[in-house]
């Protein structure tokens, strides 16, 4: 039953995972408060003079959030903690049964401009070692989701039986159920991609975007709108709410040949949430849920959203590159 002092009001969490989720939610309430204070509090967007384990500049709140989540989870049945901010998996509770992999603060470059940011997490059953516990197929997640710190602070989570949506009540400071089963709309006229990288993309990605931009006069026969927030949780929340497709492909630049988003900390949990809401998630061709990270900070191309849109992107990749633009442009095989 729901504990009256719990930071989340629900009976939908599997009972063994309740302490882990209560710890995540409790810290998220505190992080939301810190973010809401903005410049009235600490200089949260200031660089701390170091890069994280993945080579990205750390912001002050990256480090704060990492330490807060680790400290709270140490008091639960979480044996191992894998964080984007750390070089290796650490052991929190030798008697624990679970491992939590997390991006404690995703989108921290947006802190100072008041754009929605978030925390992304995965839960697995623990194995004998920390790395064995997380370097495994995404399909072995037993829980996954994200907290979005925006105009509303929301929690979107799945335990493998649908995707649940909670809202933080600012009065009670508790997450309350808003939607028991989220469902990504099957039709949408929106796509999300950083168009400034157009010249670096592969032909299939450029062809897909070209056909969207061509609008009603092009092979798709309809007009589309482009969105780009540069915050993964914000992009995810929009798409899971009103459909569309998100693309962060690999490209020709140094360091981008395998994409930029992290398989373990970002793509696996987002793919879990999206697919449980009826969408799809791939690396452009193959399902993310069938893949696993081979090292802690491995990157991957990432495409997710409404199932039909994601499948369409994969179809562009299936054609020989020299046929993509001509074939789709001339014949309009996928006219909606």
Task: Convert 43-102 into a string of H (helix), E (strand) and C (coil).
Answer: CCCCEEEEECCCCCEEEHHHHHHHHHHHHHHCCCCEEEEEECCCCCCEECCCCCCEEEEE
> Which run of H or of E encompasses 18?
helix 18-37
Which of 197, 202, 226, 201 is closest to 213 using CA atoms? 226
User: Is the separation of the CB atoms in 82 and 51 below 8 Å?
Assistant: no
Q: What angle do CA 184, 188, 192 make, to 5 degrees?
A: 90
* pLDDT (tens place) for every residue of the chain, 336 residues total: 455 689 999 999 999 999 999 999 999 999 999 999 887 766 555 555 455 555 566 778 899 999 999 999 999 999 999 999 999 999 999 999 999 999 999 988 888 889 999 999 999 999 999 999 999 999 999 999 999 999 999 999 999 999 999 999 999 999 999 999 999 999 999 999 999 999 999 999 999 999 999 999 998 899 999 999 999 999 999 999 999 999 999 999 999 999 999 999 999 999 999 999 999 999 999 999 999 999 999 999 999 999 999 999 999 998 876 666 565 444 444 444
Q: What's the pLDDT score for residue 110? A: 86
Residue 324 confidence (pLDDT): 64
Domains of the chain: 8-179 (3.30.540.10), 190-331 (3.40.190.80)
pTM listed for this prediction: 0.92
**Cβ atoms 20, 75 nearer than 8 A:** no
């Amino acid at each position: 039953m729901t504990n009256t002092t719990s930071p989340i009001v629900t009976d939908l969490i599997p009972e063994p995972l309740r302490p882990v989720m209560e710890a995540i939610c409790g810290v998220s309430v505190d992080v939301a408060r810190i973010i809401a204070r903005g410049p009235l509090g600490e200089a949260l967007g200031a660089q701390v003079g170091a890069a994280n384990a993945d080579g990205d500049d750390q912001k002050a709140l990256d480090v704060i959030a990492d330490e807060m989540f680790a400290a709270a989870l140490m008091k639960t049945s979480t044996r191992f903690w894998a964080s984007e901010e750390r070089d290796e998996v650490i052991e929190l509770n030798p008697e624990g049964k679970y491992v939590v992999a997390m991006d404690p603060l995703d989108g921290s470059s947006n802190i100072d401009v008041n754009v929605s940011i978030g925390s992304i997490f995965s839960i697995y059953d623990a194995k004998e070692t920390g790395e064995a516990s997380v370097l495994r197929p995404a399909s072995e997640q037993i829980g996954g989701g994200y907290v979005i710190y925006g105009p509303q602070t929301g929690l979107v989570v799945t335990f493998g039986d649908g995707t649940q949506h909670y809202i933080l009540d600012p009065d009670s400071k508790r997450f309350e159920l808003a939607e028991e089963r989220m469902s990504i709309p099957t039709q949408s006229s929106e796509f999300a991609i950083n168009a400034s990288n157009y010249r670096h993309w592969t032909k299939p990605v450029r062809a897909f975007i070209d056909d969207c931009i061509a609008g009603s006069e092009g092979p798709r026969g309809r007009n589309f709108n482009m969105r780009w927030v540069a915050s993964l949780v914000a992009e995810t929340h929009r798409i899971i709410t009103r459909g569309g497709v998100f693309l962060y492909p690999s490209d020709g630049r140094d360091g981008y040949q395998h994409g930029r988003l992290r398989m373990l900390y970002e793509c696996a949990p987002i793919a879990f949430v999206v697919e449980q809401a009826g969408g799809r998630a791939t690396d452009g061709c193959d399902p993310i849920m069938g893949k696993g990270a081979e090292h802690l900070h491995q990157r991957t191309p990432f495409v997710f959203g409404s199932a039909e849109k994601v499948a369409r992107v994969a179809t562009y990749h299936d054609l020989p590159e020299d046929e993509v633009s001509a074939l789709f442009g001339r014949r309009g095989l996928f006219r909606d």
